[in-house]
Amino acid sequence: MKPMLDVFPSVPGLLIYETALILVLLQFAVLLHSLHEKRSKKSLFSAVLFFIVSFLVIGLMLIAAQAYKNLDPGEVLVPGSLPDRIFSVPWGVFAAWDLFAALLLFLQIRHLFIYSKTHLTPSAVKETLDWLPVGVCISDMQGTVLLSNLRINALSQSLTNKHLFDSAAFWKQVTAQGTAQDHGCLLRMENGKAWLFTKKPMLVHENGQEMQYEQIFAVDMTEVCNITDELSAKNKHLKEVQYHIKAVAAYEHSLITAREVIKARTAVHNQMNSVLLCGKHYLDHPERIGEEELLHLFEYDNFFQLVEAQQREYRTDKLDDAMRTAKRIGVTVQIEGTLPEQQAVRDVLAQAVEQCAANTVRHADGDLLTVTLRETDSQYIAEFRNNGKPPEGPISETGGLWYLRKAAEEVGGTVTVRSEPVFLLKFFIPKT
């Protein structure tokens, strides 16, 4: 086999040199990784020994190559010198060394890979921290960062445009821009994110001594803050609604009071109207009613008006009272159909009988009021007619008619009024 000197200037010789150099560099990387992972002394010793041997081999090869390059044309290496001895070795020996070194390097790398998968190494810890969704920073008491993950470094870049090296300066920046909370400082970023930063001391027992460090955590509170903001907006809206409800309640109380006042005025109006019409009927037709009977009616009406609020349990049916009142003013009420049993409907019909009877005497000069009652599956229908003269024009819904419409609407009903060819008042009241 040819010596290395004969193949050195050729491609195979250069390939042997380059391969040896690459293997030394890779071995140096393996050695650094072993030192970083703090492996066992045995593994570390083998890595150091193999690197030294590989370094010596490539060193000798480089010495021989440098001596060969320094030769003048026609000059040869000094016989017996170190470069001459190196180049006298068959080139197969160097090729075999490269193969051996490659195989040994492969085994070391394979062992490192298996070790990293089966042991907890500093690289594994760092990689795990980098994948955490929270920011983590551990520093000494002077602020020098000893360990930080990608998340908190990204936050440092956003706040200070710098990588996180000084935890004290970083915390000062956080407290200056954030809002103090019970457990830390809440900071809203420009991208809409909200982070809660907390700072706590950490005690570590190392080599029989107690070492104190500081740890900073950053937790993403964006969703919580969004929910809190939404709840605050809803609470504000609820307060506004509560204010409006109170205003409506106060207004409703005023409406109830006003409604009761209107009912009282309506009752007084109807009762006084009945008394006046009864007196007018006596003056126009003294032969139909005696003076003692008239005074008795006046006494009954006044007594009823005075004690009604205190003796509600002794009141008679309003519809029956309305028909008696109509009779006292000279109007006969003729009912066609069946009277409803629903009290609210009877109260509305009672007001209508009183008002229509009064209008029959006052405006139509009649003495007969006809009430036609019908009912369907969903409502009662009542029609009021009189035998008096028809209205001379359209009827203006003021006074009594206006009160009748409001009374019907309170129970969900409607009222229609027709003046031609004869007066017709029609009620539509739903069943309940």
- Arithmetic mean of pLDDT, 359-374: 87
CB 4 within 8 A of CB 91: yes
**Residue 404 maps to a domain:** yes
Q: Domain holding 212: CATH number?
A: 3.30.450.20
**Residue 213 maps to a domain:** yes
| 133 and 101, same domain (yes or no) | no
Bridge partners of residue 218, in order along the sequence? 135, 197
**Residue 239 maps to a domain:** no
170, 204, 220 - which closes a domain: 220
Structural domains in the chain (count): 3
- Arithmetic mean of pLDDT, 380-395: 86
Percentage of the chain exceeding pLDDT 90: 13
| 294 and 362, same domain (yes or no) | yes
User: Which residues neighbour 54 within 8 Å (Cβ) at sequence distance 6 or greater?
Assistant: 20, 23, 24, 27, 101
Cα dist from 249 to 242, 245, 261, whole Å: 10, 6, 18
Supply the mean pLDDT for the chain: 81
119, 152, 169 - which closes a domain: 119
| 44 and 17, same domain (yes or no) | yes
Q: What gap in Å lies between CA 272 and CA 253, rounded to an integer?
A: 28
Distance of CA 70 to the CA centre of its chain: 81
Distance of CA 307 to the CA centre of its chain: 60
**Residue 210 maps to a domain:** yes
pLDDT band at 316 (very low <50, low <70, confident <90, very high): low
For residue 1, how many C-alpha atoms fall within 13 Å in the half-sphere facing its CB? 10
| 290 and 163, same domain (yes or no) | no
- Look-up: residue for tokens 């309305």? 322
CB 200 within 8 A of CB 214: yes
pLDDT band at 282 (very low <50, low <70, confident <90, very high): low
Which amino acid is residue 407, in one-letter code? A
pLDDT beyond 90 at 197: yes
**Residue 237 maps to a domain:** no
- Collapse the DSSP code of 135 into the 3-class scheme (helix H, G, I; strand E, B; otherwise coil) and give the result: strand
Q: Domain holding 320: CATH number?
A: 3.30.565.10
pLDDT beyond 90 at 36: no
By residue range, what is the domain housing residue 50?
A: 4-119
| 210 and 139, same domain (yes or no) | yes
Q: Which one is predicted more confidently, 163 or 270? A: 163
78, 99, 119 - which closes a domain: 119
Q: What is the pLDDT of residue 312?
A: 47
**Residue 227 maps to a domain:** no
- Arithmetic mean of pLDDT, 374-401: 85
Q: Is the peptide bond before 421 cis (omega within 30 degrees of 0)?
A: yes
| 148 and 39, same domain (yes or no) | no
| 426 and 294, same domain (yes or no) | yes
Which amino acid is residue 385, in one-letter code? R
pLDDT beyond 80 at 237: yes
Beta-strand pair 414-418/424-430: antiparallel
Bridge partners of residue 215, in order along the sequence? 138, 200
| 335 and 375, same domain (yes or no) | yes
pLDDT band at 313 (very low <50, low <70, confident <90, very high): very low
Which helix (H) or strand (E) covers residue 51, if one does?
Answer: helix 41-69
| Straight-line distance from the first to the last Cα atom of the chain, in angstroms, rounded to the nearest whole number | 120
Cα dist from 187 to 125, 145, 196, 221, 272, whole Å: 28, 21, 6, 9, 77
DSSP output for 286-353: TTTS-HHHHHHHHHHHHHHHHHTTT-GGG---HHHHHHHHHHHTT-EEEEESPPP--HHHHHHHHHHH
**Residue 260 maps to a domain:** yes
| 373 and 255, same domain (yes or no) | yes
Q: What is the pLDDT of residue 219?
A: 92
Look up the pTM and report it: 0.41
Query: Residue 73 carries which DSSP code?
Result: T
**Residue 124 maps to a domain:** no
Residue-wise pLDDT tens digits, 325-352: 888 778 889 999 988 888 888 888 988 8
Length of the chain in terms of residues written: 432
| 156 and 137, same domain (yes or no) | yes
| 213 and 277, same domain (yes or no) | no
Order of strands, sheet of 368-375, starting from the edge strand that comes earlier in the sequence: 332-336, 368-375, 379-386, 424-430, 414-418
CB 408 within 8 A of CB 414: yes
| 145 and 95, same domain (yes or no) | no
Q: What gap in Å lies between CA 55 and CA 51, rounded to an integer?
A: 6
